[in-house]
Amino acid sequence: MKTRFSVLIVAAAVLCVPVSRAAADPDRTAMDVQFTKGSTAAVLKGKITGRNYIDYRLRAGAGQRMRVSLQGSNLANYFNVLPPDSENAAMFIEGARDRTFEGLLPTDGTYAIRVYLMRSAARRNESSSFTLSVAIAGKPLSPVSSKIDAVLPGTNYHAQTTVKCEPLFTKTRECEALVIRRGFDGTATVELRWDKDSKRRILFVKGKPESADVPQKINYKRNDRGYVVQFNGEERFEIPEALIFGG
């Protein structure tokens, strides 16, 4: 019989609401984290055993900064950060050199901090007692009002087009590109979609791509048409300037 996890909330300025285990994955438990008014940080304590893992879910906005750190009694205790709408693809994967995540968030929605044991430790049914520290800083970059910049009917996107792209693990070479403009100075979230459910979100701040929902480093070049954005040279997206700035 598998050992269940336990969670203790040690920060008074947070609410942590358990969500029922997903039938498709009995090892996963989700916990909705809600900061109380006036608070932007929390410290959570818990314990996991074997293949059980916890997704701590909290809402945040594009342009805010998230900081996460984890201390576990077992060195095989790690965490990932998953962007909104992601089941497994992470924007941060903890490693031996990167024990803390601190980054600019590219889009609005519910982010998940996944606390788990590495496979070798999980197979041995090891346990870990952990302390997870989470903080959100800064104000979100609000979308431009639809009264000023019209949105596509039934959505919060200001514009849509098709762009050239080269995502990983697919032969797709054209992606749908949508944008939420957060100003007319080149500040916007561009969302790229392909192969039904695959997507990539990139936050531009004053005309520069500053963050994305992948762990790889952003590289980009600007030309007379717009931007060529790459992630470690493995993925490539061509984004028109007019999509970001409007006009």
- The contacts of residue 100 (CB under 8 Å, 6+ apart) are 67, 68, 69
In a domain, 76, yes or no: yes
DSSP state of 244: H
Give yes or no: residues 67 and 126 share one domain: yes
Domain range holding 163? 159-245
| Nearest to 63, CA basis, from 188, 157, 168 | 188
Give me the number of domains the chain comprises: 2
Q: What is the CA radius of gyration of the chain?
A: 19
75: enclosing H helix or E strand: none
Cβ atoms < 10 Å from Cβ of 57:
20
16 and 106 inside one domain: yes
pLDDT of res. 2: 39
Distance CA 50, CA 46 (A): 14
Same domain assignment for residues 223 and 119? no
Distance CA(204)–CA(181), nearest Å, equals 9
**Tens of pLDDT, residues 91-120:** 999 986 678 999 999 999 999 999 999 999
DSSP state, 217? P
- Looking up tokens 């048409």 gives 225
Residue 150 falls within a domain, yes or no? no
Report pLDDT for 10: 43
Query: What pLDDT shows up at residue 37?
Result: 80
- What was the pLDDT predicted at 211? 98
Low-confidence ranges of the chain (pLDDT < 50): 1-12
- pLDDT of the residue at 36: 79
Decide if 240 contacts 225 (C-beta within 8 A). yes
pLDDT of the residue at 233: 84
Pairing of strands 53-60, 28-35: parallel
* Beta strands at 65-72 and 100-104: parallel, antiparallel or unpaired: antiparallel
What's the pLDDT score for residue 18?
63
The CATH number linked to 69 is 2.60.120.380
Q: Which two structure tokens, joined as six digits, stand for 78?
A: 């790690």
According to DSSP, residue 242 is labeled H
d(C-alpha 78, C-alpha 95), whole Å: 8
